[in-house]
Amino acid sequence: MNIQDYLSNIDDSGLNKNKFFIGQIGYSTEQDIKHKCLEGFQIALVGLTETRNSFPAMQSFNTKAVRNYLYQLADFSNLKIIDLGDVKTGNTVADTYACIKELVLYLIKNGIIPVFFGGTQELSISIIEALNQNISSPEITFIDALIDFAEDDDFHSKSYLNHKSIINERKIIKSILGYQTYFTTQHKLRVLKESGFNLYRLGTIRNNFNLIEPVLRDSDFVSFDFSSIRQSDSPASGFKSPNGLYAEEACQLANIAGLSDKIKVFSASEINSGEDDKEQSAHLMAQLIWHLLQGFSERKGDYPLQNLSEYKKIFVKIDKLDDELVFYQNESNNRFWIELPGNILTKEVVSCSEADYKAVCMKEIPERIWKRISNTMK
Per-residue H/E/C for 205-228 = HCCCHHHHHHHHHCCCEEEEEHHH
Q: Select from 210, 204, 207 the least CA-distant residue to 178.
A: 204
pLDDT higher than 80, residue 11: no
Q: Averaged over 252-273, what is the pLDDT? A: 97
> What is the pLDDT at residue 35?
55
Domain 3-297 has CATH 3.40.800.10: yes
Collect all residues with Cβ–Cβ distance below 8 Å to 135 and sequence separation of at least 6: 220, 264
Residue 52: pLDDT band (50, 70, 90) is very high
> What is the pLDDT at residue 14?
73
CA gap 198, 43 in Å, rounded: 28
Strands 139-143 and 335-340, how do they pair? unpaired
Cβ atoms 105, 255 nearer than 8 A? no
For residue 207, count CB atoms less than 10 angstroms from its CB and return exposed for 0-12, middle for 13-18, buried for 19 or more.
exposed
Domain segments of the chain as ranges? 3-297, 308-376
Mind listing the pLDDT tens digit for each residue in 219-251?
999 999 999 999 999 999 999 999 999 999 999
Q: Select from 12, 5, 119, 6 the least CA-distant residue to 64.
A: 12
pLDDT higher than 60, residue 366: yes
Q: Averaged over 202-217, what is the pLDDT? A: 95
Q: Helix, strand or coil for residue 139?
A: strand
pTM attached to this predicted model? 0.95
Residue 207: pLDDT band (50, 70, 90) is confident
Mind listing the pLDDT tens digit for each residue in 133-163?
999 899 999 999 999 888 666 788 888 888 7
Cβ atoms 319, 284 nearer than 8 A? no
- Which DSSP symbol is given to 8? E
Mind listing the pLDDT tens digit for each residue in 276-324?
999 999 999 999 999 999 999 999 999 999 999 999 999 999 887 888 8
> What is the pLDDT at residue 15?
84
Mind listing the pLDDT tens digit for each residue in 77-116?
999 999 999 999 999 999 999 999 999 999 999 999 999 9
Cβ atoms 241, 145 nearer than 8 A? yes
- Which DSSP symbol is given to 268? E
On average, the pLDDT of the chain sits at 92
> What is the pLDDT at residue 343?
63
